A and B are shown apart, each in its own frame.
Chain A
Amino acid sequence: MSKNFLLPIAALTTAVVLATTASGDGHADKALTAAIDARQAQMQLVSYNMGILGGMAKGETPFDSAMATAAAESLALVARLDRSILWLEGSIQGDVPDTRAKAEIWSDAAGFEKASSDLEAAADGLVTAAGADITALQTAMGAAGQTCSACHKAYRGPRN
């Protein structure tokens, strides 16, 4: 009698636990996916502004100090977006779709912080160069590119 009575409760409890876990995962996934979207949008803004500066550095477009400054200042702002809400723990390549973020971002948090502040410094360097001349811009672009590469090499996984 008591056994028959307990069985449905056990089943119900199990079902509730399962449902909660599932919806918990669902929430987590949604937050991670949103963070991944947001930081990819950040990277797109980085590349948009780099594109304006790079076009000038390569001689594809004439050097325009005001426009270069606008692009470099935007870049410096975008580089300073709060990392604590963009790089949510667990949004790792392999665990979550559509990201190339390596686990080292979190396991080597100090290194990642350094790489990120290097981007801020590189962007500031571009602001200074944009106010100067084309030669300064070309040099600063080289340095900025190396900064991008250094971080991608350490913290971005391979395509596919």
Chain B
Amino acid sequence: MWSFARFCAVACLGAIAVFWAVTRPAQLDKGWADPPTGNAEAGALVFAAAGCASCHTSPDVKTSDGAPILTGGRAFETEFGTFYAPNISADPSVGIGDWTFAEFARALTLGVSPAGKHYYPAFPYTSYAKMDTGDVADLFAYMKTLPVTPEPNKAHAVTFPFSQRRAVGVWKRLYMTDAYHLENASTPELERGRYLVEALAHCAECHTPRTALGGLDHVRWMEGAPDPAGTGRIPAITPQKLDWSTADLVAYFTSGLTPDYDSAGGDMAVVIENLSKLPEADRMAIAAYLGAL
């Protein structure tokens, strides 16, 4: 009897130890040790392509003289609870003002805070994980030039068991990968398109349906999904399901006008605002990627 109780105790401790090891927040690898000098001007394009402002500006106060104010505060209601985007302005206490480059890179590409806690994957670090070191450096440089705001952060309203951040480590083991979905990018244009779509613009986060645990369902890549905001559906954008020409896609990314001259609405209108800032070649690369699916 005693030995059975002891066995259970040991097994429990063992399980906890395994859980702790498996869910340990990751460290940056050595590739990040020597960061390139960031170029803020180039970073503005990375910022646009990555759609940072779409989530991290408040619906009330968005810009000051055209520069985004990264107050955070936007609410994202999901089946796991309500997440609030944080302040990512350069404020040293509530924002990212006193972060080192390594802390910034770890947050962005590994989803781990400077305090060593997992971020919830409402923050699309599973996509940003594929970002180039240079782009991360440029982005960091650009974000330091943006207005500083002391807007306090709101705590996420997430219920148990999702309130246990450590468990996000298990989720990361299941769903976080360095591998691209599109395995063969045979031309430089396709490679650029793949990087823009899968790493920066994180299109799949909305256009790909999710599994029961909230991971992207790679079998139905870009085949459309229920709108996380509640009503309606995010459309499928594979060539099998969307018969837009490359010219249609590029025109849409530039002007927001669909082939029947309706205009982009909802969250996509904000995405278009970002994509329209990129060089034409980038919009063509995104169209090429979609055509290759």
Q: Which A residues fall within an 8 A CB radius of B?
A: 46-48, 50-51, 54, 57-60, 141-146, 148-150, 152-153, 156, 158-160
Contacts and interface: CB of A to CB of B under 8 A. Distances in A.
B161 interface: no
Contacts of A59: 247
Interface in B250-293: 250-251, 254-257, 260-266, 269-270, 272-273, 276
Contacts of A50: 257, 261
5 contacts: A58-B251, A144-B257, A153-B266, A158-B232, A160-B231
A146 to B, nearest CB: 6
Size class of B's contact patch? 20 to 34
Nearest to B256: A149
Contact of A156 (B260, B265, B276): B265
B270 A153 contact: yes
A150 B266 CA distance: 10
Contacts of A148: 255-257, 263
Contacts of A152: 263-265, 269
Given A57-B251, A59-B247, A141-B255, A149 B272 contact: yes
Contacts of B264: 149, 152
B256 A158 contact: no
B53 to A, nearest CB: 14
Given A54-B251, A152-B265, A158-B266, A145 B257 contact: yes
Select the residue from A141, A142, A148, A156 with max chain B CB neighbours within 10 A: A148
A51 B231 contact: no
Nearest to A154: B269
Contacts of A47: 260-262
B91 to A, nearest CB: 28
Given A149-B264, A153-B270, A158-B232, 11 more contacts: A47-B262, A50-B257, A143-B255, A145-B254, A148-B257, A152-B263, A152-B264, A152-B265, A153-B265, A153-B269, A158-B231
Interface string B193-233: 00000000000000000000000000000000000000110
A153 B265 CA distance: 5
Contacts of B276: 142, 146
A47 B262 CA distance: 7
B256 A145 contact: yes
A145 B260 contact: no
B135 interface: no
Nearest to B252: A145
Given A47-B261, A58-B247, A145 B232 contact: no
A54 B257 contact: yes
Nearest to A145: B255
